[in-house]
Chains A and B, each alone.
Chain A
Amino acid sequence: MEDRDGAFPSSLEHGYPRRLLNLLFILNTSVEPPTTDEIIGDSDLGYGSGSRDSDLKKFKRDRDKLAQQGFHIVEITGAGGRQNEQSTWTVDRMRTHAELGLISASDAEILAHAVDAATEGGTSPLMPALSSIRARLRGRMDVAPQQDAARSIDPRLEAIWNAWCLRRALPFDYTDSKGESRPHSVEIYGLFSQAGHGYFVGRDVEDNAIKTFRCDRVRAARKPTGAYDIPQGFSIRDYRFLPFDFSGAGLVNVSFSFPRTLGAAEIEDITHGRGTIVDGPHDVFTWNISVRSIDAAARFALAHASAGMRPASPSALVDAWNDILKGVVETYG
């Protein structure tokens, strides 16, 4: 059978991607699932080297490569388990394909709105994943295309996301808040958004210290290298910083109170989910957290004074609160 140009398409064109795509094509279009020998004996498909072992290994690598892309190819052993019966192969459709019938039109709309809200502004470090998810909804389930159809992803976010997915350290140049630039190589442990910016947290390989970096301050990300594991017990929530985190001083345990009438969403926005919140006395919640600067902690509470936030302990925190207030009374009173 000839193609439009009169020449049969060669599997050598486009390299191994065409071989994998054609393997998938064959599995999707065959009347009967092909056997192992049919697959590895097919030179047009890209196997058939003459060495069965070599072709079997290539077939295994190709299945693994397709699995990385979400296509799971499984072996069907001989019906009835007859001896010497060749295995056949098929796409595991349940593991591979989404079951869109489980989602109602209303669910799809909620999902689309959620993804659109999270990607508004284009700064979330989850953009690459969320854009891919949104694209899968496009044109399906009557979900309208994303409003900004050409919402391009910052290549730095792509680089950070890919490095995290691969669990490979990301080398990059970085300009800090003071304007100083230097190279880093970071094993990324987690990602978060805060106040309209994206951040990643990980081990700086050279300094062997856990650090937080702002995504838009990354310059010139390079190819990730060096595999790593994320330490057990790592919690990204602990790195959603607050103004009292920036000091070289040691940690001090402090407590604040919030009135019980304050909404949970507002408390979450203030506390960033850090520390612990427990029932306190006299119709308040008590927020326990460790801080590096008592003065910054007092100022943080003052910034939320009209919401009812108050310093509770230790006395140094209450004193810092009062000192600032006395200064204002003295200046403006």
Chain B
Amino acid sequence: MAAPTDNSAPLLQVSGLTKLYGPRTGCAGVSFDLYRGEVLGIVGESGSGKSTLLSSLAGQQRPDRGSILWQGQDVLSLPETGRRRLMRSDWAYVHQNPRDGLRMGVSAGANIGERLMALGARHYGGIRASALDWLARVEIDAARIDDRPSAFSGGMQQRLQIARNLVTGPKLVFMDEPTGGLDVSVQARLLDLLRGLVRDLGLSVIIVTHDLAVARLLADRLMVMKDGRVVEEGLTDQVLDDPQHAYTQLLVSSVLQV
């Protein structure tokens, strides 16, 4: 599970990223490199700055300090057009609540096709074929292609959101608690699916979760956050099996054992 090192240049280089909310700290001084095909987990309790960090990285809000380099290019100085293009070509964002990431008023097929059409696909048959292909890959019955997501279960909506994001073949996917709000068996299936997709497509992923089991299953590397700062960082197994920081020890020991 070690990070692949064949591509020596990191995809994403983050340094000194800081986001303040007035006098309060959202996240502060976060630095890391992300390599191709690597899954980085960000764990921590509620309010530790995980989601702030993720949305600052993904360009949903502007960080106050620090820099983000995508394949060597400064993302924060990109014009809005470039940023939007990046967000729907090389990057993808999977929301915790699928209703935030899906367009609920149009069919599943249109949801999957939207990113393609935004990038200039103008062949209906081609768009539909990719939609069918992706429905199959996320294990949704092809017959549901013309149904609206509002007719889908929570787990199906989340899988549809993943299909919609991955259809353009992004290199980096941001995920905010992708299994939040799903029951355990649906979670397990989704995690299985995600793990398969990440491995098959060689995706780089930054995944925010408070669920250490999810982190253990998916992430190659972990960052543990507390009060907006990274308190511990390392390979997932190393962090979870031999936590060094007092807070990480607390976090690991508070996982319920069945």
**Physical interaction between A and B:** no
- What residues make up the interface of A, taking CB atoms closer than 8 Å to B? none
> CB within 8 Å of A: which residues of B?
none
